């Protein structure tokens, strides 16, 4: 045993001996015969406590080795018993003792044997509870596991990881449409410093910035009207940090939240800081329709492309289509056959040819082959 354990056991023995001496020794006739104790009776309890403590200390010294040996045996025995057996036995014992004490009060009024029945009931029902607990340990453990798992699921189900909105995603406006579809679970956090930045943009002297800021405020009002408890404003600020991006990252770390943004630089900075980012642009790209080479698209060529002879068209989701030799068909609706697809950080680009030109080319190739064979 450790030194602390030894001191605790010694203190228990000394205290128990002192209490025993205090209770037993003052009643002896030998002490009452001494004239000293007759005159100073207040000394009797003190001396009795000291004598009892001394005998308690002697008893501790004599029995310490045996207690250590017995303690090690008991600890070794219990270490070999599986934890589920101990738990089941203890629960069975507690249930048995509770039932025994509920019955004991009523049975104690029985003449002659009423004083002994509570003791008999406690021993009998306690042992019976231990026996039943051990025999039903497998069923009990399975029952506890199932209930603990259900409790954990209930605890986790209503709690979702928080999401912080940055200024760019608010001004973008698409967050209101996503929120309306209920795909975003949980609360949307808007820091006070983001609102301040948004208000500064709305109060700008430049018309373009002012319109963007006002649009962001309108988006927040729209979300708040759709879901009154969806938005939560946090007044926490970090004056020592200069940029809004660094403040967002620090706040996300403190409250264990994700950042909703479409800012490329914030996205990269947050990844370096191991903060999860939900990028609206990534979501938009993932939701774009899948188009494979060889498929046909009906679209309108809007403008001239960068390369000579190219025309540019757009799908409804904003995907750019580069049409080979489509410059002559600007403003017309044509059928375009997809030749290849290029994925870029800004989104997807589709390359194709006007279907009629492809058909003409195939017809010319077939005609040339026939003339050669002839």
Report the run of H or E that residue 311 belongs to, with start and end.
strand 311-314
Q: Are 160 and 185 in contact (CB under 8 A)?
A: yes
- Give, in order, the Cα–Cα distances in Å from 229 to each of 118, 180, 258, 265: 59, 13, 18, 30
Q: Tokens at residue 246, please?
A: 């660094």
Count of alpha carbons within 13 Å of 160, Cβ hemisphere only? Answer: 12
* Fold observed for domain 177-286: Rossmann fold (3.40.50)
Return the DSSP state at 190.
E
Q: Distance (Å, rounded) from C-alpha 282 to C-alpha 290?
A: 15
pTM of the full structure:
0.45
Q: Are 125 and 100 in contact (CB under 8 A)?
A: yes
- The residue ranges of every structural domain in the chain are 3-135, 177-286, 296-373
pLDDT band at 362 (very low <50, low <70, confident <90, very high): very low
* Fold observed for domain 296-373: OB fold (Dihydrolipoamide Acetyltransferase, E2P) (2.40.50)
Q: Are strands 333-344 and 296-304 parallel, antiparallel or unpaired?
A: antiparallel
Whether residue 295 is predicted with pLDDT greater than 60 in this model: the reply is yes
Whether residue 290 is predicted with pLDDT greater than 70 in this model: the reply is yes
Q: Kindly list the strands in the beta sheet with 188-191, ordered across the sheet, starting from the edge strand earlier in the chain.
A: 231-234, 188-191, 163-165, 258-261, 277-279
Give tens-digit pLDDT for 114-169: 777 788 888 888 888 888 877 877 776 666 666 666 655 554 444 567 888 888 88
Other beta carbons within 10 angstroms of residue 231's beta carbon come to: 17
Which bin fits 206, alpha (ψ -120 to 50), beta or left (φ > 0)? beta
């Amino acid at each position: 045993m450790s030194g602390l354990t030894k001191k605790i056991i010694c203190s228990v023995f000394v205290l128990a001996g002192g209490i025993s001496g205090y209770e037993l020794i003052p009643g002896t006739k030998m002490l009452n015969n001494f004239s000293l104790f007759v005159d100073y009776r207040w000394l009797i309890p003190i001396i009795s406590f000291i004598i009892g403590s001394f005998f308690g200390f002697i008893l501790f010294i004599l029995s310490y080795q045996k207690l250590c040996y017995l303690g090690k045996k008991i600890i070794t025995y219990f270490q070999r018993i599986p934890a589920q057996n101990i738990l089941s036995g203890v629960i069975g014992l507690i249930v048995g003792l509770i039932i025994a004490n509920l019955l004991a009060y009523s049975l104690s009024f029985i003449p002659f044997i009423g004083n002994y029945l509570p003791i008999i009931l406690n021993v009998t029902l306690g042992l019976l509870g231990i026996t039943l607990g051990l025999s039903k340990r497998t069923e009990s453990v399975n029952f506890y596991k199932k209930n603990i798992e259900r409790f954990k699921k209930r605890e986790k189900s209503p709690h979702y990881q928080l999401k912080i909105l940055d200024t760019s995603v608010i001004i973008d406006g698409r967050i209101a449409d996503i929120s309306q579809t209920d795909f975003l679970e949980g609360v949307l956090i808007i820091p006070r410093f983001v609102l301040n930045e948004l208000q500064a943009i709305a109060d700008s002297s430049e018309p373009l910035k002012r319109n963007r800021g006002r649009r962001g405020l309108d988006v927040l009002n729209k979300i708040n009207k759709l879901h009154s408890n969806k938005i939560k404003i946090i007044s926490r600020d970090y004056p020592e940090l200069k940029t809004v991006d660094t403040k967002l990252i620090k706040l996300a770390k403190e409250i264990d939240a994700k950042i909703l943004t479409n800012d490329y630089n914030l996205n990269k900075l947050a990844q370096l800081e191991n903060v999860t980012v939900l990028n609206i642009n990534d979501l938009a790209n993932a939701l774009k329709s899948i188009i494979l080479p060889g498929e046909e698209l009906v679209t309108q060529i809007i403008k001239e492309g960068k390369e000579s002879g190219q025309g540019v068209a757009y799908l409804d989701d904003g995907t750019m289509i580069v049409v080979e030799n489509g410059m002559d068909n600007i403003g017309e609706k044509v059928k375009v056959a997809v030749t290849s697809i290029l994925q870029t950080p800004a989104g997807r680009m589709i390359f194709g040819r006007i279907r009629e030109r492809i058909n003409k080319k195939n017809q010319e190739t077939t005609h040339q082959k026939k003339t050669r064979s002839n």
